Amino acid sequence: MRRIFGTDGVRGLANAEPMTPETMLRLALAAGRRFTRGTHRHRVVIGKDTRLSGYMIEPALTAGFIAMGMDVTLLGPVPTPAVAMLVRSLRADLGVMISASHNPYADNGVKLFGPDGYKLSDGIEAAIEAGMDEPPALAAAAELGRARRLDDAEGRYIEFVKATFPKGLRLEGLKIVVDCANGAAYKVAPAVLWELGAEVVPIARDPNGFNINEKCGATHPDTMQAAVAAHGAHLGIALDGDADRLIMADERGRVVDGDQLMALIAGGFARDGRLAGGGLVATIMSNLGLERFVEARGLSLFRTKVGDRYVIERMKADGINVGGEQSGHIILSDYATTGDGLVAALQVLAELVQAQRPMSEVARLFEPYPQLLRNVRFERGTADPLGHATGRNAIASAESALGRDGRIVIRPSGTEPVIRVMAEGSDPELVRRSVDGICEAISAAT
């Protein structure tokens, strides 16, 4: 039974359970036992973002892995996709990213990657969690691991990202605002764009341990939008705290979300004969407009539950090489094993350079259906709010009213006592009434 692992690793308030040094030590001991196989020297790579609590969690994890006889390579502040890349490049047995992604600085988390660079499955995470309650098989004194820092981790990742940009293309003539979210990409993101020829306007690149994602980054794109207008830039790029998420803005400062970016990238791949699997993978939250756009081009949109790990699992199962989430997690499996904001941004920029047209024309490929999301909170320990007939009837009625021109998505939160109610359709007023009716029925049932 999973107690500490959620939809994307372990996450919580720093120095409170489960994000305490003691629990992190036990997590490392259990993960170390799971990934210690064979007689070779076992290696773990550990990266982190710029949160103050990283200084507490990193040594706790390091001690646990060393106690299990594993050598630890410390990467320092790097994006999550850099950990996924380096765990394969360095032939490590396990990769660890210390980050709470887009959350505020007071939170932190741990994401685990296997030797193949992919996030661990639910089953493996459950096995590690069960092992945390068992006595660890500690290494003998002579078999303890060692820790070292990899000084060129940033450089290796920069060269990896640049290699995904089409040969023969350059970014000369483009002025690009890049919002680093005061996070893990505060050095590498401006460097990649500048080395490819762009004029770069970097913002939110002065982390102090407290300001990660604070009124900046992919979850607060208005800062990037304002900078695009102020500097007369051709476009803006906003990453989140660990740089696995991407939101962009056109030259007018208007947001271009993950659905539009996926449509652009998948369309370019299809044109060049590079799109595998006959379509792309998105979650249940992606806009119906994306689905209609894809279908009109003879392709398919395959939906999964929310979480980039589930998108990746479907991509692997069906041999699809483009997938992602409306929130900006975009996975391009030709290049990476997890969402990579910089790699995805370069694919968009490649389309822009080749088209020789403004971002507003290139990256707005469909008109999104009106979409509304609301949360219904309920008391912990109460009966399942969705199990009551009142709620079920309201959902069925809304689905009937919206018909083929709309969708209803009801999703319990995996981290708090909240039911998320989303509706979309061609008629915004009908969408609003549908959401209101379902929320009222669920509230009445709790």
pLDDT category at 38 given cuts 50, 70, 90 is: confident
Place of tokens 């499996």: 333
18 and 141: one domain?
Answer: yes
Question: Could you give the 3-state DSSP secondary structure of residue 105?
Answer: coil
Note whether 143 and 11 are same-domain residues: yes
Give Rg (Cα) of the chain.
Answer: 22
Pair (85, 146) in one structural domain: yes
CATH (domain of 202): 3.40.120.10
SS3 400: helix
Q: Between 54-67 and 21-34, two packed helices, what is the crossing angle to 10 degrees?
A: 40
- Which DSSP helix (H) or strand (E) runs through 205? none
Distance between CA 2 and CA 415 in Å, rounded? 12
- The predicted structure's pLDDT at residue 1: 54
DSSP state of 86: H
Cβ atoms of 156 and 77 within 8 Å: the answer is: no
Per residue in 144-197, pLDDT (tens digit) is 999 999 999 999 999 999 999 999 999 999 999 999 999 999 999 999 999 999
Assess whether 299 and 354 both reside in one domain: yes
Last residue of a domain, one of 107, 135, 151: 151
Angle at the Cα of 405 from the Cα atoms of 399 and 411, rounded to 5 degrees:
45
The whole-number pLDDT of residue 291 equals 95
From the list 53, 99, 101, 327, the catalytic residue is 101
* Spatial distance between the Cα atoms of 162 and 193, rounded to a whole number of angstroms: 9
Name the band, by pLDDT with cuts 50, 70 and 90, for residue 383. low
Per-residue pLDDT of 393-421, as tens digits, reads: 999 999 999 998 899 999 887 667 888 99
Q: Is 101 a catalytic residue?
A: yes
pLDDT band at 59 (very low <50, low <70, confident <90, very high): very high
Question: Which of helix, strand or coil describes residue 331?
Answer: strand
Ordered alpha helix ranges (H), 105-221: 122-131, 153-162, 188-195
∠ Cα 338 329 151 (to 5°): 50
Output phi, psi for 220, to 5 deg: -135, 65
Plot region of 343 (φ>0 → left; ψ -120 to 50 → alpha; else → beta): alpha
Q: How many domains does the chain have?
A: 4
Same domain, residue pair 114 and 250:
no
pLDDT higher than 80, residue 389: yes
* Together in a domain, 104 and 67: yes
Residue 142 and residue 242 in one domain:
no
Q: Are residues 243 and 293 both part of a single domain?
A: no
Q: Which of the listed residues 151, 166, 181 is the one where a domain comes to its end? A: 151
One domain, residues 47 and 100: yes
Confidence check: pLDDT of 278 > 90: yes
In this predicted structure, what is the pLDDT of residue 382?
66
Cα separations (Å) of 288 from 142, 163, 262, 405, 408?
Answer: 59, 33, 13, 8, 11
For the chain, give the number of residues: 446
pLDDT tens digits, 247-260: 999 999 999 999 99
Q: How far apart are CA 137 and CA 36, in angstroms?
A: 11
Last residue of a domain, one of 205, 232, 254: 254
Give the pLDDT score at 33: 96
| 443: CB partners within 8 A, 6+ apart | 376, 378
Please tell me the predicted confidence (pLDDT) of residue 7: 79
Structure token digits, residue 225: 């939008």
Average pLDDT over residues 317-328: 96
> What residue numbers bound the domain in which 108 lies?
5-151
Same domain, 35 and 137: yes
Please indicate, yes or no, whether residues 111 and 95 belong to a single structural domain of this protein: yes
CATH of the domain at 406: 3.30.310.50
Work out the average pLDDT over 218-222.
Answer: 96
- What distance in Å separates the CA atoms of residue 163 and residue 158, rounded to the nearest whole number? 9
DSSP H or E segment with residue 413 = none
